[in-house]
Amino acid sequence: MRDYSFYTLLYVDVAGESAATNGVHGDFDRQIQTYIRCCQTLSKSLEFFTSKELVVLTNQREYLEHYSQDLHVVEIPFQLNVPRKVAFYSAHFKLDVFQYFKSLGDGSGYCILIDSDVLCLSAMPTNLKNCIDSNIPTFYNVTSQRYPAYGRDRLIQDKDILMSGKSSLGIWVGGEFLGGDSEFYAQLDEEIQLLQDDYFQNCQLFHHQGDEVLVSVALEKLMRKGMYCCDVGSFGVISRFWSVPTLHVQNRWKAFESNFLIHLPMDKSYISNLRRVDSSIKTRLGRYLYWKIIVNYLKDCIKKMLPFLSKR
């Protein structure tokens, strides 16, 4: 089988004390430690099910190694000038990661970039192995989760800002999974370089700020030029599961149990505190999500009832 590696980005913004959003609380050190522990859990789960270690790409290797000696940490150059006002500040540095993958050359094999708040739940499916062996770029299409919240026309409108007169298809690419060889990342980076100045100048116009905007536009442009890319979400390589109420219709947890990877944006604290990784991880995760959803539902019911109770 063609060689492949798993990577994640942990950019440490010490000066701005900005770590992340979506379910991470506390001061800067506590936030960073949560992310480091998420990386450790992700690495353990990948090793258990695939025998592959996770490579953590960062701008502060010594900082991370101060908190953890267990991770494979690689410091890479970061050159992107990201405006401080932009949301998901640290996530934008994935664009520098694409340049790093490009610089590795053909000998790097197939590079899979995933978010740190992801867990591996089972052995790698044959579908993904075939993509890697055939050197087919892979991505995760989250359009069905975006348009119920923002509308189909809004997704198209946002991408049209960067599409230079062409009408976009409105396909939205999730930032939690992207795979390909150095040539793919070179082509992706070339398209992004043509877009990023316009993006940063107009970033306040987009319904979402982050690497997803640029990757969604760049990948659509590459596909229009004839590049075949595979949506691995269509056969359960990865899914994004929200443990909080959503505007889109989300399947019950049972529909995700056969997944290879699961992205849990609102459950970083749970992931960071998960000490045991074994074949029972799906059962324990399912139990945790079930009770969290029940508790959130009850809280929502109580919140809706309070105005009526106060009138009595």
In this prediction, residue 301 carries a pLDDT of: 86
Size of the chain in residues: 312
- Rounded CA gap, 236 and 263, in Å? 12
Rounded Cα distance between 198 and 193, Å, is 10
Query: What pLDDT does 310 receive?
Result: 66
Chain centroid, CA 296 distance in Å: 24
pLDDT at 20: 53
Q: Which of 43, 72, 77 is nearest to 56 (CA)?
A: 72
CATH of 4-310, one of 3.30.70.920, 3.90.550.10, 3.40.50.2300, 3.50.40.10: 3.90.550.10
Residues (pLDDT < 70) of the chain are 16-26, 308-312
CA angle 188–183–233, rounded 5-degree value: 60
The pLDDT value given to residue 195: 96
Q: Which helix (H) or strand (E) holds 111?
A: strand 110-114
- Amino acid, single-letter form, for residue 168: S
Alpha helices in the chain (DSSP H): 28-50, 61-67, 94-104, 126-133, 143-150, 152-160, 182-201, 211-224, 268-272, 281-310
**Global pTM value:** 0.94
**What's residue 144's pLDDT?**
95
First-to-last alpha carbon distance for the chain, in angstroms, is 69
pLDDT of res. 106: 76
Tens-digit pLDDT profile for residues 128-149: 999 999 999 999 999 999 999 9
- Domain-wise residue ranges, the chain: 4-310
* Residue written as token pair 């100048």: 201
Q: Quick one: pLDDT at residue 23?
A: 56
pLDDT, residue 84, reads 87
Q: What is the pLDDT of residue 311?
A: 63
pLDDT for the residue numbered 174: 97
